[in-house]
Amino acid sequence: MSNDAAPAIAHPEGLPSHQVCEQARLSRDVRFDGLFFTAVTTTGIYCRPVCPAPAPKPRNVVYYPNAAAAEAAGFRPCLRCRPELSPGDGAWRRGDAAVERAIKLINEGLLADASVSALAERVNLGERQLRRLFVERLGAAPLGVHGTRRLLFAKQLLTETDLSITDVAMAAGFGSLRRFNTAFKDAYRMAPRDLRLRPKAQQHETLALRLGYRPPYDLPAMLDFLRGRALPGVEVVGDSAYQRVIAPATGDGPTGWLRVSAWPGDEPALKLELHGIAPLQLQPVVNRVRRMFDLDAEPQVIADTLSVDRRLRPLLKQRPGLRLPSGWDGFEIAVRAIIGQQISVTAARTVAARVAQRFGTPLAAPLAEGLEHLFPTPEALADADLTSVGLTRARAATIRTVAQALLDGQVDFAAERTLEDFVARWTALPGIGPWTAHYIALRALAHPDAFPADDLVLQKTLPTDGSRLTAKALTIRAEAWRPWRAYAVIQLWREAAASASRQPTPKRSKAA
């Protein structure tokens, strides 16, 4: 692509200023990885800002806010810095606007089986308006975002795994090998088989994928949070890794397991190992893990907002890598939230473990050490006698109500829900108050603005004079933290846990 062919596009809303992009590119600033891409007009290639290749001349550079915009302009991904490994743009998590919710649906694969008009309807917009907003905000149309997402995932699988090309096509959401080959050649000007540097003759049962993030990232803190709530038999959390047994999303097929740990070396990435996962389930599993470990967050943007509060400022400096510790399954988180109302984390974990063992699905044989059964489904708990495992009648009734409400469609974990809509639907159920609804939003959806203002720990930890704020006062104080209130919650919970560990007798509180 020559200089004369450089695409002329409007400055998309999601793109940092030219000066910021230029400085980040020249310094290879990892904080901007995935927040913009550098396209080189003389080569027709686009790169991550951290690309180790010699920096091109500024006059040959065009900046794009995302990979889809670069590919829409005719550029191909760099084979050296591999744009498919960059963390996702966290901008879609800043609020509940239509574009943000539409991107969540695209990431869940909606456009693999549905039209753009169906996507627009899900977020209550007209199709033309949705297309216009995507181009203004992202520099690419919805189908372009969807297509780039599929191809980059396929590119990662081709490079990092020994899956057959047919399995890669299925995993990336293409209905046939022919369509995959055509789309790959059209976009990247090479056949999928040409991307493989060596033959992939031997197939391994366990796949390993790199999942990138923007540093800083406090993996020990994430594992510590998950370890304190781990359910024996369902998940195992050690000092350096998280393991879990998972069922196929469709209910058919084999049960598998996953393991998450740090990627070896200094690369800002986690290592995801998958065993027994069918190709069609690979991308949904990867998406869940990225959400669960909060890999697409923008730490600097979050810190800039929360640091306006003098109470939070030193906490952010002390623990800059804290992320939202989400959960694997929404229903599981909802059950655990109900169990955890007004009791300690340890007590809630004990009861939840009994529910999982008594009503979950046992495996014919452990998939790995400590992975012996699946967490129960809504169908299994809708009519279960939960008082037999130590739950009060009221909480047992609430769990059964939630299970039936999920089966009936009264509540869900749909990506198009705004936080307000989600909380309203859940608090309409008997036994579900604002604390529980916001806790579920934080841990099941990883919603960045979820805020359980009724939480006793938050009310006591935010003041430093030993007083306790009311829920109303806490909510007013937290207005300045939007749209990142959930990150303030994690910082305060962590501070409370650290403070409790220094006390002779640990405090008891809600199961945060």
| Residue numbers annotated as active site | 47, 455
- Residue 241, classified by CB atoms within 10 Å of its CB into exposed (0-12), middle (13-18) or buried (19+), is middle
Q: From CA 461, how far away is CA 457, in angstroms rounded?
A: 6
362/371 Cα distance (integer angstroms): 10
Give Cα 225 to chain centroid, integer Å.
16
Contacts of 121 (CB under 8 A, 6+ apart): none
Contact 65, 135 (CB under 8 A): no
CA atoms within 13 A on the CB side of 297: 28
Q: Can you tell me whether residue 353 is helix, strand or coil?
A: helix
A 10 A CB-CB count for 379 gives 13
For residue 502, give every residue at least 6 positions away whose Cβ sits within 8 Å of its Cβ, in sequence order, or none. none
Q: How many helices (H) and strands (E) does the chain have?
A: 22, 11
Q: How far apart are the C-alpha atoms of 357 and 352, rounded to whole Å?
A: 9
At residue 414, the 3 state secondary structure works out as coil
Question: What backbone torsions phi and psi does residue 376 show, to the nearest 5 degrees?
Answer: -65, 150
